Structure 1
Amino acid sequence: MTTKTESLEAYKKAIKAHYEFEKQGKYSSFLINPSRAKLRQLCEERLKESNDKEDKLSFNLVFGFEYEAANRNKLKSLTDKFRPIETFLKGETDLSDIEAINITALLVDFKPRPFRVFNTKSYGFQPINEEFKIEKLAINEEETNKPSIKIQTSGPNKNLKNKIAIGFLGLIGLTSIGYTTKNMIAPDPQCMQWQKNHYEVVDCTNENQQGLLKQYDIIPFDENQSKLIKIEVSDTTTFFKNGNSLCWYCKVNGKPEFFNTHGVHPETGKALKPVTEYIINKYIKNN
């Protein structure tokens, strides 16, 4: 059973991993070398984009007022409140205040957030309604202006009409059951684990890892990072298209390991870099 403390540590670790990914995104200028002032500006940009009430609540709990564009100068006077987040992202200190951690998640756009939602989705149990009942079909044409389905009990066409009506009700029932069954059998992935050269969705509470897989942490599911695949390259590999890198790398023990997309190295946690002609010539073509 995962404790709240362990879940919080997993939340922070996932935020830090996603931070490495976001440093290569559209807000890289704010995140590559974060300062209190840059993080304050980024916070404003994120809140302008966010329609999530949870983000607004986290902001209110940390800064003591509701975020509005008119409050820009008020937030500027509280720039020092971003100091713990700055040092946390730089790896200099830890964060213990949950609301400050939630603001950090907002800054790097990590989801699910805030911690309450992360904890429920990653380690909690959500009830599923397994009851499917069709007791009555009653549609009032005068109130809804929609055609009603009437089952005729007498007359020459009663069998055909009965079959059509029953089939329609059956279709509704099967569609509802199919949709809910999909959620029960194949729910949204919550955790994943690196397995040799790719990520696989795993049980968040799995404590029975064996052999090689035991050395890899089970981490919260990240849709972008989950697409990462370690690849083998050669001098015939196509590394560029229209001047853009098609391959990313990170050095491990002095040698580059190559991947199909950007992200962070699953073992070292370091950000992957786009491949360069220098790397190709030194490690691929000259070997």
Structure 2
Amino acid sequence: MFEIDLYNEEVLRAFHEKKDQDKLIHLQRATRADLMKECLMRLENGELENDIPVLAKIFNSEGNVESLKTAIKKATADKFRPIQDFIQIKTSKPTDNIIALLAIFIDFEPRPFEQWRNIQRNKNDGEKEKEEDTGKERKDDGPSIGKYKIPNTEIPNTDKSSLAAPTDISTNKINGQEIMEKEFSKKKKKQSLIFSGIGIFTTALLIIWYMVAIPKDCMCWNGEKYIQVDCQDKTQAYQVIGLDQDRLEHFRKITQPDSLGVKDIGNIWYSKIDNEVEFFTGPGYHPVQPNKSLKAVTRHIWDTYVRIKPDSNQHVQFGIMQKQK
């Protein structure tokens, strides 16, 4: 297992432990706007100094506080939708970016991943040095082969001539060491063959699983449309799903509703989630919340959310309209 996967497991374990202890109620009730405000406030207060490189990568900004704050505001609260969905258990497949943000919001330590990795490596190096020191102490106690201690006793000589001649103590010790070495070598060789067989079998299973179970072509929502990605891509903010060529080519989010006309009534679709209305070019389910189905735009929806005064040049970001007063 890769180090990043181990880190992700520890963050998720910490999240579920705090959730079970009712320590994350404020996060579960937070809106996307609340999450964005908290991130900006902690960034302004200098609490996220070590997290700046991670946040800069997620929001595509330079590695300083001001440019990062600008990038977060430009991305809007919609960028925090994936982390909100995961915290509220609306999705169960978090990406690396979601877990990086989750670590920040639950104050997981040590973070980010690079700092956690360095601590783990130093810890492993220390344990390795301790084992080596222990090995040296055992070596000082007397000769040994692996975990086998060579007994400091004589091995009887079965040769008949030994009955008449005195036994050479040093020769018996050498013979005993040779016997132990041969036994140890046989056992080591047997273990090596077993582990090699297990390794080959495991590799074959992984190859078969990859060829059969993992789809080769996938896609991911990028906020406005679907883009084709690798099925193993863990850097995307939204969930990676199987490739649907029709939705990939034709399904879009309408980001400028003022370009629509009355002819589009019944030919475009909308969703209303958390009092936010979004418009799309095709039917089906919401790309981020797949349990929410899209509905065809009716005259009532058009008059309420889409129709704009003739002298208005309003362009609403992400296609979300507020009800006309």
TM-score if structure 1 supplies the norm length? 0.35
More helix by share: 2
**If you compute each CA radius of gyration, which structure gives the higher value, 1 or 2?**
2
TM-score if structure 2 supplies the norm length? 0.32
